[in-house]
Amino acid sequence: MIHQSLFLLTRSQMVEIDFPIKGERSMSAVVEVEDLTKRYGSVRALNGISLTVNGGAVFGLLGPNGAGKTTLLRILLGFILPSGGQVSLWGDRHVGRVRRRIGYLPELPQYHLLFSAEEYLSFSGHFSGLGGRHLRQRVDFVLELVRLDEFRKRRLREYSKGMLQRVGIAQALLPDPELLILDEPAGGLDPVGQKDVRDVLDFLKAENKTVLLSSHNLTEVERACTQVAIVDRGVVVRDGSLDDLLPDSGSVQLEVGPINPEQRAAIARFGFARLTSDDCIVLENASPEDEGNVLRYLLDNKIRILSLTRQRISLEWAYLEATKGRVV
């Protein structure tokens, strides 16, 4: 039996969502959620979530375990009905009309382990409406993209956990979706596999695809995402672009060319300047005038300035502040 974690686009596995439309929509929005709630008896998994995912964005969905992230994704995919609120995809409130435009990787994908990767993807492709030469080309492309081409004939039962995760990513990408929903895509991957996921996300950015990414890996989210929402106890507690969520920390980092001991001592006399290595100077909470004085010293002494970076608050700090450090 094929497990339902395959994103097989059949009516028997989906629930139609039909909401009344309120107000105007942003023409650039791919996903719009307004005041969404979901109750399981007396438990509120979602408690009035509202957010917008714009076209071409890589949108990070963060939050502790049990915050409601997976419930939100399952409603967007039509797997379950909400208790209230509204959702639309590309301005359409009927999931069934747009589901073929969506690729999905669940948090815990399961597979028929007697399939090879090639057989599994070919089988999935038929249920996504692909066939013939186009399907073969897409299978070849996604296997190469996730670096599994040389293992395409190997049975999935012989795959490692990380390799199986790559198969799931390949399956989500197979129909060339406009919206990709990924639930913990780097789960189970070693550092090389995590880099492969980053490369895939970079490819999707270049292709102007829209990605909704749920992850606990804050470093990866900060690197890959253009928008972020932090969810806690079923509500959005922070939402916006990374520039909005992660303000300037007040520090400037200068990478410079070689400096001699005399120059190091002179730089150290600027009270706000800290040398972290032979080629890195950090200016802590310096005024524009102070920064100018340091730059002038470097230029006057013919010290090369290789880079100047304004440091911002880390996503980890913003996450911990928003969730009060809650784990579960």
Assess whether pLDDT exceeds 50 at residue 230: yes
Within this chain, do residues 259 and 193 fall inside the same structural domain, yes or no? no
* 3-class SS of residue 191: helix
Q: To the nearest whole number, what is the mean pLDDT of the chain?
A: 83
Residue 77 phi, psi (nearest 5): -85, -10
Token representation of residue 3 = 């497990």
Residue that is written with structure tokens 């589901």 in the block: 99
Nearest to 277 by CA among 301, 293, 257: 257
Assess whether pLDDT exceeds 70 at residue 271: yes
Token representation of residue 125 = 């492709």
318 falls within a domain:
no
Within this chain, do residues 278 and 233 fall inside the same structural domain, yes or no? no
Look at 7 and 207; give whichever has higher pLDDT: 207
Nearest to 170 by CA among 128, 222, 219, 225: 128
**pLDDT tens-place string over residues 138-168:** 999 999 999 999 999 999 999 988 889 889 9
Within this chain, do residues 220 and 301 fall inside the same structural domain, yes or no? no
**pLDDT tens-place string over residues 12-49:** 344 444 443 443 434 489 999 999 999 999 889 999 99
Within this chain, do residues 189 and 304 fall inside the same structural domain, yes or no? no
Task: Read off the pLDDT band of 97 (50, 70, 90).
Answer: confident
The CATH number of whichever domain residue 273 belongs to comes to 3.30.70
Look at 249 and 169; give whichever has higher pLDDT: 169
Average pLDDT over residues 92-119: 89
159 falls within a domain:
yes
Within this chain, do residues 252 and 217 fall inside the same structural domain, yes or no? no
- Range of the structural domain that residue 194 is part of: 11-245
Within this chain, do residues 235 and 274 fall inside the same structural domain, yes or no? no
Q: Give the Cα separation of 276 and 181 in Å (integer).
A: 41
Within this chain, do residues 185 and 202 fall inside the same structural domain, yes or no? yes
Based on the structure, what is the number of domains in the chain?
Answer: 2
Residues with Cβ within 8 Å of residue 212, at least 6 apart in sequence:
31, 53, 59, 61, 73, 76, 179, 180, 181, 182
- Angle at which helices 261-268 and 288-300 cross, to 10°: 170
Q: How many CA atoms lie within 13 A of 315 on its CB side?
A: 25
